[in-house]
Amino acid sequence: MNYDFATIMVIALVVCGVIWAVDAWLWAPRRRAVLATAAQSAGGSLDEETRARLGKEPVLVEYARSFFPVILIVFMLRSFLVEPFRIPSGSMIPTLWTGDFILVNKFAYGIRLPILNAKILNIGEPKRGDVVVFRYPEDPSTDYIKRVIGVPGDRISYHDKTVFINGVAAGQQFVGPYTEFPTGIPLPSRLEVESLGDKQHILVIHPGFSGRLEEGEWTVPQGGYFMMGDNRDNSNDSRAWGFVPEKNLVGKAFMIWMNWNGANGGITWNRLGERIH
């Protein structure tokens, strides 16, 4: 089940704010009135213990007042600056592994209103080679992460495990065999450095594998982006379901802050702090 964390935070923020406001407008004046009456009955003076007992905030109010600023700060940071995500699949191997926890720049492609996702300030646009988190077009409640291959107006084709952009092949340079992390398709596989203009990244190719995503041609519409996984033979991407609308963009992935792999004993220390290229 997918949970909209932003909506949960807004609800928590509203609940805490309402409790805090009701206390300030209704319950707190009543506590002060009780204190004043008790002080008058005691001859104008109350001991500290009695004053603390009569003036004590309800536990619910105390928690609401304490959590409200914390939730607000986290909500603002997560909505407009940086949001954490966890990689659930191997479609971006070797760049990202299953179990990677990443940070995403939320303002790289513009400032958007939380929940509504309406852009209110345009800052930049995705470029070929960017690793981007977006809402899956066929189920916007699910976040996907892929690499931008085509921008609006591009003609993209894929033949013989090679990407062609506007008729020009994206160069590949063989690096060596790949054995570091399971790709979801039986070995052997190989590492290739792919060039998208002046940007380079490493991808995994399975030379002998043939699947439904082997061939195709597409023209990227205005307001859309063509996405592919770096694990080219095992990625559910634009070759299967089409283009990502600009409104579905979430942000640009820029760093791995942790990797957790329970099968291999927990934290993979050498991935901590690794930049995403």
Active site residues: 91, 146
Give per-residue burial for 131-158: e unless 16+ CB within 10 Å, then b: bbbbbebeeeeebbbbbbbbbbebebbb
Token pair, residue 178, equals: 């790949």
Token pair, residue 200, equals: 């380079």
Distance CA 184, CA 124 (A): 34
Length of the chain: 277
SS3 21: helix
Distance CA 91, CA 249 (A): 18
Distance CA 194, CA 201 (A): 6
Q: What is the bridge-based pairing of β-strands 131-135 and 143-150?
A: antiparallel
The answer to whether residues 277 and 201 touch, using CB atoms and an 8 Å cutoff, is yes
